[in-house]
Structure 1
Amino acid sequence: MNTPSHHPRPPDPPRVSARPIHLHPETQLAFSASHCPLYANALALARWAGPTVPVTPRGFPEPPLIGEAVRALSLRPAGLPPEPSGDAGPTRAEDLSSIDPLFALPWWEAIRLGMVELAAGQARPAPDLEERARDPRQILRWWNDMFETTVESVRGDLAGTEPGTTGPDLLPRVLRSLYEAPDRSRVPLSDLVTELSTGPEALSGLSDRVRHRLSDLLLPMLWQLTEIGAVHLDHRHARPSSGPCLVRLTPLGRFGVREILLSVGVPAPLIEDFSRVGAAEFLDSLHSFSLDGRLIAIDSWLAARTPARALREIGGAVDRPGSALRRWDGAKVLNLTSSHLGPHLRALLGSERPALVSLAAIVLLGSRMLDQGEIDRIMEDHGPWVVVDMVAAAMSTGEIGLVDFLTSPDTAGLETLLLDDVDRLRRVDHPDTVRVLEALCRVHPDPDRAARFRAAAVRVRRDRH
């Protein structure tokens, strides 16, 4: 008999978890943050304000002083001022265009973040500015505040693209797509546009006018994020018309997006933390990841332990009632390292724990390490428990999933292994046998077999009690 080729379909909940990532060390992220244009300009202006500089009621120095600061500090471009949130300090009034843009935004940020204090018509550096500017955690708090403010500002700028609406909410999807991309990978802008406008997860409600302008809408958004050091654009192709525009989330940007995800309740595990979670939590979390995220999670978890330890941990997490889906997923995880587990798996076939026997049998049958004779022997000795686990895993998708399993050409007739020797089912205390038999009697399309499964369930349940 050949290896069962049907893999029960996993349940399909919303894929809310972000993929596990690795963050650069805090000091390295802080160094990057302190050198991004907006942060560097804001801190330079805060220091320039010492000991004091006179300011107008709007919170800005007079134009000659602004020009002096821009020249003396060689301020680099840092975008346009975002819409203020109502905090004390300068605001973007209608005549703010009179303020040099190289000065206006970083000065606004320096005041908003507390690097600069305003009082009695004067601005001065915060008393503890230098101490705080040397603290990596404070640097990252300041930078993250700037990043979140920039994100909200960019989202606000999109509000005018669709009259009568709040505008298409493009940025969260773009940032999430870049976050899910492999580290250091460069994503073509055209791919981001395609993802936003087509496919099953496309943004709904986009008008044709906006859909055709997505590239033009995205590029200014991404340029603003480069000023905060969150995104890197391929500067050789700064405009879509000049060739492929490639976008990459920087390590600092990955840090910032993760903070946003956590703030809105999206799980965003770190690889180093995820690798330390127990097998039960690890297996239960797999279906919340995208396919790529799941592969990263599995690789990270396996890399932190030997194959034998992974087998022990997974075995301990799946040897209990209601753990059939864990066993199936655990078998797929162990399959990736099965070449190192041959003796351990064969030894488990002699275990007195039926769930562990089934786990070992499923891994061996899928390992491609066995010849046909060994496959036949395992199915003869342990086939019923393999089928119990296959059916129990199919049940996790609901009755429709179980019907699909029973009617699939790949699994046709496998349930016969459960009816061939009901006495054997009674003798072996597999934790999911009764549950599987009762489910089969409810949904089996063949009435005669459904009746036989009902009788088998009654006999096994009676003998278990």
Structure 2
Amino acid sequence: MDDAAVLVPPVKLPAERELAEQAKAVPMLGYALKLARWAAPHRAVDEFGDLTVPDRAPAAQLLGLAPAEGEVPEEAEVEAMRAWSLACDLDLVELGTTAAGEHVAVPGPDLEPAEEGDPETVLELWLTAAGIVRELAVEADSLPEEGAPPEEEEAAAGEEDEDGLSEVEEARDAAAELLDEALQVLYETTAFAEPGNETVPLGVLAALLVVPEGEEPSEELLGDITDVMVALDPMLGDLAELGLVDYRPIDPELFDEEEGAEPGPEGAAVGEAPLDEEESARFGLVRLTPLGQYGIRQWLLEDGYDAPLVGELAQGDAAELLRGVCESTNVLPDEELRVWITGKEPVAAARELLAAARGDDAYAPMRRMLCVSALNLLGAPAEPAVRDVLDDPELGGGARAWLTALGAADVPVPERQMALWTVVDTFAAQLLDSGGDAELLRELIDDLPAIGDPASYFGELWRVDHPYTADVLEAIGELHPDRAVAKEARKAAFKARSRN
């Protein structure tokens, strides 16, 4: 994967047993397993470990690639040979020589546990196979085009022409980088996609790789997008064979139809109106499968990236949950909270969360904000636990606001000191959570009752005993649109700093 700093979003993955079942259902891996079993107790091979000529047609028939009776097409034999090669690469069959000097293949030690569906064995085999196919896809993309001059073909074969060989290496590195970047973008896009919306048009994927963020594609960039689409098309097709992606390739007739025009990122020719959904799909559609997410995550981990799973922070108690979410940079808070509360009794869960939200340490305001988010997920059944903390100096203000939002009519108005402390705490949580995102803070600032008499309001606010009082006042002073109010907030911030 790319060496640049990457913040990898958390992903949801099925259980390993379910992933293993999906891996065994991938035709190419299934073929390799069948051929490995077919090799028992041993099967003659040629000096290169390939199937002998008499065995190739029966192998294709065994795999259902050709009718049981009659002539076997050459392409079926080629496919069987590919499956046999994969079985050898995965050590599902082991090669050796008999005492009589015959070359033979026998089933490897991983065959039986793989056939029985052992998740660890199956996923390790699938991941190895995916890595092999990934490398072969890149190699194929970097070879000289058919009909290239003989000297280029020799260079691709590693013969004589060093300059040509260097060009092939450069092309291979470029293809590998492009594929890695595309898989990384697919991984991130899938992580944030709503269920059922994981499919990405190939043109959109190419545009994400080519067009700088925030810019519209120029005609020149549209040409680059087309080049990327064409380069990715065969590579994604190869990865689809191992179930890493679901892929609908570019319609080969498309470029003949669009002769003289250049396809745009939405699947329309430059200067033409966007095509309908079915026509656009002819330019390629790709979806990263759960197996694909699993594989890319493993590659990311091998490359030293932090690639978390949704729910990893939700395995301990409420204190561990809230602390973990606060301290993690690549986390989906609502997902972690949702995983944690699943199956828990609402009142007991709410009490545990509220207890964990107390404190005056650096992350305490953010913990209280997360606690409210979790209470929202628990809903009305958590109400008894929330009512128990109405008079708590740290939790009471948020508890009253939560009950009011729930529609409760008998919520007591908080005392002035509690109300002011809650204002500071709410602002502090946003400062911590968003890093001072101006838009979010302005929404809170708009609700402040400071316009009429800012000196009086901030005269109270700077005296609030909260670790973030001065920081909150400084933020208000920087962002409030009313210059008089902003000036009073800055003066109050100075007084709060001086007091400390």
Deviations 1:377-435 (A, max 9, x none): 23746211111112322432557759955994344729865522777x4xxxx5xx144
What amino acid is the match of 2:112? E
Residue aligning to 2:236? 222
Match status 1:335 vs 2:376: yes
Contact 2:358-2:394 within 8 A present in 1 as well? yes
> Partners of 2:252 and 2:126 in 1: how far apart?
27
> Partners of 1:143 and 1:57 in 2: how far apart?
27
Correspondence for 1:172 among 184, 188, 192: 184
Deviations 1:352-388 (A, max 9, x none): xx222244245345x25256x958x237462111111
Correspondence for 1:60 among 34, 50, 55: 50
Residue aligning to 1:455? 495
Secondary structure of 1:124 counterpart: strand
Secondary structure of 2:295 counterpart: helix
Residue aligning to 1:212? 226
Correspondence for 1:266 among 283, 288, 306: 306
> Partners of 2:329 and 2:296 in 1: how far apart?
19
Correspondence for 1:106 among 83, 86, 100: 83
Secondary structure of 1:444 counterpart: helix
> Partners of 1:175 and 1:439 in 2: how far apart?
37
Secondary structure of 1:297 counterpart: helix
Residue aligning to 1:69? 59
Match status 1:324 vs 2:301: no
> Partners of 1:344 and 1:128 in 2: how far apart?
56
Secondary structure of 1:350 counterpart: coil
Give matches, 1:287-436, under 5 Å. 288=329, 293-320=332-359, 321-322=361-362, 323-351=364-392, 354-364=393-403, 367-369=405-407, 377-378=413-414, 380=416, 382-396=418-432, 397=434, 405=442, 408-411=445-448, 413=450, 417=457, 419-420=459-460, 425=464, 433-436=466-469
Computed over aligned residues only, the root mean square deviation of the Cα atoms, in angstroms, reads 4.3
Residue aligning to 1:80? none
- Deviation at 1:124? 1.5
Residue aligning to 1:285? 325
What amino acid is the match of 2:14? L
- Deviation at 1:439? 6.1
- Deviation at 1:211? 0.8
Q: Which runs of 5+ in 1 are unaligned?
A: 1-12, 77-96
- Deviation at 1:309? 3.0
Matched residues, number? 408
TM-score, normalised via structure 1 length:
0.70
Ranked by relative contact order (alpha carbons within 8 Å, sequence separation 6 or more), the top structure is 1
What amino acid is the match of 1:131? E
TM-score, normalised via structure 2 length:
0.66
> Partners of 1:444 and 1:179 in 2: how far apart?
38
Secondary structure of 1:59 counterpart: coil
Tell me whether 276-285 or 441-450 shows the greater mean CA deviation: 441-450
Relative to structure 1, the CA distance from residue 212 to residue 182 in structure 2 (aligned partners, 3 Å threshold; closer, same or farther) is same
Match status 1:42 vs 2:32: yes
Relative to structure 1, the CA distance from residue 32 to residue 412 in structure 2 (aligned partners, 3 Å threshold; closer, same or farther) is same
Secondary structure of 1:355 counterpart: coil
Secondary structure of 1:308 counterpart: helix
> Partners of 2:320 and 2:365 in 1: how far apart?
15
Relative to structure 1, the CA distance from residue 176 to residue 434 in structure 2 (aligned partners, 3 Å threshold; closer, same or farther) is closer
Residue aligning to 1:146? 129
- Deviation at 1:282? 3.3
> Partners of 2:347 and 2:417 in 1: how far apart?
24
- Deviation at 1:37? 1.6
Residue aligning to 1:9? none
What amino acid is the match of 1:32? Q
Q: Which runs of 5+ in 2 are unaligned?
A: 67-73, 145-166, 255-277, 479-485
Secondary structure of 1:60 counterpart: coil
What amino acid is the match of 2:418? H
> Partners of 1:381 and 1:407 in 2: how far apart?
19
Contact 1:144-1:256 within 8 A present in 2 as well? yes
- Deviation at 1:194? 4.8
Residue aligning to 2:112? 131
Residue aligning to 2:272? none
> Partners of 2:242 and 2:495 in 1: how far apart?
68
Secondary structure of 2:446 counterpart: coil
Tell me whether 441-450 or 355-364 shows the greater mean CA deviation: 441-450
Contact 1:441-1:450 within 8 A present in 2 as well? yes
> Partners of 1:64 and 1:330 in 2: how far apart?
69
- Deviation at 1:248? 4.0
Relative to structure 1, the CA distance from residue 173 to residue 155 in structure 2 (aligned partners, 3 Å threshold; closer, same or farther) is farther
Contact 2:51-2:81 within 8 A present in 1 as well? no
> Partners of 1:421 and 1:102 in 2: how far apart?
75
> Partners of 1:358 and 1:217 in 2: how far apart?
58
Relative to structure 1, the CA distance from residue 294 to residue 101 in structure 2 (aligned partners, 3 Å threshold; closer, same or farther) is farther
Relative to structure 1, the CA distance from residue 178 to residue 442 in structure 2 (aligned partners, 3 Å threshold; closer, same or farther) is closer
Deviations 1:155-188 (A, max 9, x none): 4555579976613232332244345545565514
- Deviation at 1:346? 3.3
Contact 2:189-2:198 within 8 A present in 1 as well? no
> Partners of 1:311 and 1:327 in 2: how far apart?
12
- Deviation at 1:140? 2.4
